[in-house]
Amino acid sequence: MAENSLTLALVQESDRGDPNANLDACEVAIREAARGGARLVLLQELHNTRYFCQTEDPACFDLAEPIPGPTTARLGRLAGELGVVIVGSLFERRAAGLYHNTAIVLDADGRLAGTYRKMHIPDDPGYYEKFYFTPGDLGFEPIPTAVGRLGVLVCWDQWYPEAARLMALAGAEILLYPTAIGWNPDDAPDERTRQRDAWILVQRGHAVANALPVAVCNRVGFEPDPSGATAGARFWGHSFVCGPQGEILVEAQDQAPQLLLAEIDRTRTEAVRRYWPFLRDRRIDAYGDLVKRYRD
């Protein structure tokens, strides 16, 4: 990478009830980010639609689209026009009956630089993703772009140190997480705080353990459960960027859409790894049990 710094933008948005309206809002924010000097823009998980996984509804498969497809074409044109790299997140229709939760990377020249299919798929109350998404099969491979090698992961992946580590070992220069996570409105306030703090803490830990900057873009706002079975989800926002020692560089609030800009010092990974040489001291001869589900 030729430059020592990178301006990164996060587009924290709420669902506007229509895919075109959601994409329009993303485009407005991306243009503003580019005017502010951003060369890399991260959008939230499944930014075209509401978070439809609160319930299991076969009709929701109609929301999926192919890759390449209309959204990659639109974001690609925008990326090429503005000279920015855009990381988005789509419901991918790969074939009839085969769907993925897929991150897309549009390079600064407008081409589709690569994709990442979400590897860890949750199945919890309000997050019934296993009904919709096939686990990813592209591995943990950084995507080369005009701004460097991007380690793109998606939401539930962010709880797994193995995913972050494998991206780092493959040469990722920054970890990026499009995300959709929120509270059950029935949860007590102290439980909400614990959940949000744990979410921030674990990802700051990935930054520290790998000496990499981490960027997390979450959605925000209340979305009702169409089935009426639960109280819905209030997505907690708090999109953030941290540096390679876990230091918070910018953080959004939890009530409304927000565009965040952060300046990343690209020289710090090398500097931090020189005096915290975690990769040097890994005991790769002793980690064989990590490929087991559990040691009985």
Q: Of 155, 217, 223, 242, which one is the catalytic site residue?
A: 155
Domain chopping of the chain, boundaries: 5-277
CA-CA distance, 122 to 120, in Å (whole number)? Answer: 7
CA-CA distance, 79 to 83, in Å (whole number)? Answer: 6
Q: What is the pLDDT along the chain (296 residues), one digit of tens a residue?
A: 458 999 999 999 999 999 999 999 999 999 999 999 999 999 999 999 999 999 999 999 999 999 999 999 999 999 999 999 999 999 999 999 999 999 999 999 999 999 999 999 999 999 999 999 999 999 999 999 999 999 999 999 999 999 999 999 999 999 999 999 999 999 999 999 999 999 999 999 999 999 999 999 999 999 999 999 899 999 999 999 999 999 999 999 998 999 999 999 999 999 999 999 999 999 999 999 999 999 98
- CB within 8 Å of 281: residues ≥ 6 apart: none
Q: Of 13, 53, 92, 118, which one is the catalytic site residue?
A: 118
Q: Of 13, 45, 92, 129, which one is the catalytic site residue?
A: 45
How far is residue 2 from each of residues 7, 45, 106, 274, measured CA to CA in Å?
14, 30, 20, 20
Superfamily of domain 5-277: Carbon-nitrogen hydrolase (3.60.110.10)
- Is residue 155 part of the annotated active site? The answer reads yes
Question: What is the strand order of the sheet 220-223 is part of?
Answer: 182-183, 233-236, 220-223
- Is residue 191 part of the annotated active site? The answer reads no
- Is residue 130 part of the annotated active site? The answer reads no
Indicate yes or no: pTM above 0.95: yes
